[in-house]
Chain A
Amino acid sequence: DTAVSQTPKYLVTQMGNDKSIKCEQNLGHDTMYWYKQDSKKFLKIMFSYNNKELIINETVPNRFSPKSPDKAHLNLHINSLELGDSAVYFCASSPGTGARNQPQHFGDGTRLSIL
């Protein structure tokens, strides 16, 4: 029944490694997002995809590469992990684009810790 599911829930790894986080939504939504929540709980959008097409890229380092194989999935791959990448990453989805179709469904987050 989970609407937006992310895996893994926790990810602990060393600097320099490459890791991926997966996200799936079963709501039939067209638009998906990745947000980063830092240690001060500040939440900021990173990427948004609509029907597998990238529509928002918020000046995120190119070590971060989102991939959307279909509109129900949006994965996040991170190369050469750095200490500053430690955060909670949230996936979200909404029915469509436009301010009236804002993210209303969030996953439970993936807590990434870099050693």
Chain B
Amino acid sequence: AQSVTQPDIHITVSEGASLELRCNYSYGATPYLFWYVQSPGQGLQLLLKYFSGDTLVQGIKGFEAEFKRSQSSFNLRKPSVHWSDAAEYFCAVGAQGYGNKLVFGAGTILRVKS
């Protein structure tokens, strides 16, 4: 079965600093990978997705993520964090043969210091 681990429950970074949020997945075949962001009281917004091809994917709001098959990872990065990036970030995995079922990680709360 698929599973997703986000090792960091909370991360605090200074505004303008770089950011990396970790995500590890477990799945036997090539997964489809997603990062979502959730602001307080809001639904989830898709930041980016990986299906195949180039392992470095660009998303909205200046985010990018890199798929590393050897490490079963799909870490989210941003070179310079803005205060408005403070939110909760969820990594998710979907897989062929599982229809349209997504499995989510537990989320990482990002705090931004000014």
Question: What is the chain A residue whose CB lies nearest that of B51?
Answer: A100
Minimum distance in angstroms from A114 CB to a CB of chain B: 20
Minimum distance in angstroms from A50 CB to a CB of chain B: 8
Q: Which residues of B contact A97 (CB under 8 A)?
A: 99-100
Q: How many A-B residue pairs have CB under 8 A?
A: 68
Q: Which residues of B contact A101 (CB under 8 A)?
A: 100
> Is B57 part of the binding interface, using a Cβ–Cβ cutoff of 8 Å?
no
Minimum distance in angstroms from A104 CB to a CB of chain B: 5
- Hey, which bits of chain B sit against chain A, CB under 8 A? 32, 34, 36, 41-46, 49, 51, 88, 90, 92, 94-96, 98-102, 104, 106-107
8 contacts between A and B (CB under 8 A): A42-B104, A43-B90, A48-B100, A100-B51, A101-B100, A102-B34, A103-B102, A109-B42
